Amino acid sequence: MADVTLTPGAGFRRGTASPVTERPAVRLALMLVAFAFLLVFLVLPLVVVFGEAFAKGWGAAAATLAEPDTLAAIRLTLMVAAIAVPLNLVFGVAAAWAIAKFEFKGKAFLITLIDLPFSVSPVISGLVYVLLFGAGSLLGPWLKAHGVEILFAVPGIVLATVFVTFPFIARELIPLMQAQGTGDEEAALSLGASGWQTFRHVTLPNIRWGLLYGVLLCNARAMGEFGAVSVVSGHIRGLTNTMPLHIEILYNEYNIAGAFAVSTLLAGLALVTLGLKSLLEYRYGDELAATGHN
C-alpha cells in the first residue's frame, strides 16, 4: 500500500487526457481517500487486536488462553458452531432445492422470510427465545416442571445462533442453483439415476464451492455471534460463556490484555475466513458466479 503505481486505463495516451477516465491527480486523490478510510476503519482495529494482546508479552497472552474458563469458552464456541452450522447447512440445501428446482406459488415470499433474520437485531433474536421459553411464557412453567433447561443453558445458545446464521447458506445456494437450472438433474434421472443418486453425483459437485462459501460465512458468524447469545446465555463462567462473551467479561474486569488475547483467536478465524473466501472467489469464481457478494 506504500508505493502506488498508476496503470493507465484503456485508451490512455501520453499527453492527451483520456475522456473515459479521471485525470491522474483525481485518481490519486480518490485512491488516497479510499486507502486512508480503509486504513483507519478496518486495518487499525485489526492491528490493535494483535498489538494489545501481545503488549505484555507472549507469555501473558498464552497464560490467559490456558485458563480453564477460556478453554471452556473455546470448547463451547466450537460445540455451538458444530451444531448450528450443520443444521443450517441441511436447511440451506433443502430450501435451495425446493426454490431453485421447482416453480410454486409464494416463492418470492418464502425467500423474503428466509432473509428475515438479517433485518432483526441480534438482541431481538435472543429476546424472542426468552419470550418463548422464559419464566412468563406459555412454555416456561411446563419446561420447568419437566426439568428442561433451554434458557441460560447450551440449547438456548444454539437456538439463538441458529436464528442469527439462518439465511447464510440458503442465500448462497438459491441464486447459484437457480442459475444452474434443472437440465443436469433431468439428464441424470432420464438415465435411470435415483433422486438421491442425482443429488449426490450431479447436484452436489455442481454446488460444492458455493456450499463451502456459505459454510465459511455461516461458521464465522456462528463463532462470533455476541448480541443474541448474550441475551440467552446467562453468562455463567465455564458453563454458558462463549468466546465473545468471555472477551466481554475479561474486558469489563479491566483484563484488557486477556480480552485481546482471546480476541486474537477470533480475529485469526476472521482472517482465515477472508483468505479462504478470496481464494474461492479467485479459483472458482465461475462456479460461484450466481452468488451475490453478501
Partner 1 sequence: MSLAGAAGWRFSKPSVVPGFGLTLGFSLAYLTLIILIPLAALLLRSASLGWPQFWAIATDARVLHALKLSFGASLLAALVNVVFGTVVAWVLVRYRFPGRRVIDAIVDLPFALPTAVAGIALTTLYAPRGWIGAIFAPLGVKIAYTPLGIVIALVFIGLPFVVRTVQPVMEEIDREVEEAAATLGAGRAQTLLRVLLPGLAPAITTGFALAFARAVGEYGSVIFIAGNLPLKTEIAPLLIVIKLEEYNYAGATAIAAIMLAISFAMLFVINLLQSWSRRRYG
State in angstroms the smallest separation of the CB of 74 from partner 1.
13
- The length of the chain is 294
CB-nearer residue toward partner 1: 36 or 71: 36
Q: Contact, 236 vs 28, CB < 8 A?
A: no
* DSSP reduced 3-state for 19: coil
Measured between alpha carbons, how far is 183 from 222 in angstroms, rounded to an integer? 35
Give which of 265, 233, 271 is closest to 249, Cα–Cα. 233
* DSSP reduced 3-state for 8: coil
State in angstroms the smallest separation of the CB of 60 from partner 1.
16
Q: Which position has the grid cell 506504500?
A: 2
Q: How far is CA 106 from CA 113, 118, 148, 169, in A?
A: 11, 20, 37, 21
Residues forming beta bridges with residue 37, ordered by sequence position: none
The DSSP 8-state label assigned to residue 234 in this structure reads -
Q: Which of 63, 79, 137, 143 binds partner 1 (CB under 8 A)?
A: 137
202 contributes a contact to partner 1 by CB under 8 A: no
State in angstroms the smallest separation of the CB of 157 from partner 1.
14
Burial of 266 (0-12, 13-18, 19+ CB in 10 A): middle
Residue 145 C-alpha from the chain's centroid: 37
| x/- track of binding to partner 1 for residues 209-228 (CB under 8 A) | --------x--xx-xxxxx-
| x/- track of binding to partner 1 for residues 6-25 (CB under 8 A) | xx-xx--------xxxxx--
Binding to partner 1 in span 230-269, by CB under 8 A: 230-231, 243-245, 247-248, 251, 256, 259-260, 263, 266-267, 269
80 contributes a contact to partner 1 by CB under 8 A: no
User: How many residues belong to the site for partner 1 (CB under 8 A)?
Assistant: 112
CB-nearer residue toward partner 1: 72 or 225: 225
Binding to partner 1 in span 151-190, by CB under 8 A: 159, 162-163, 166, 182, 185-186, 189-190
State in angstroms the smallest separation of the CB of 131 from partner 1.
5
| x/- track of binding to partner 1 for residues 90-129 (CB under 8 A) | xx--xx-xx--xxxxx----x--xx-xxxxxxxxx--xxx
44 contributes a contact to partner 1 by CB under 8 A: yes
Measured between alpha carbons, how far is 233 from 241 in angstroms, rounded to an integer? 7
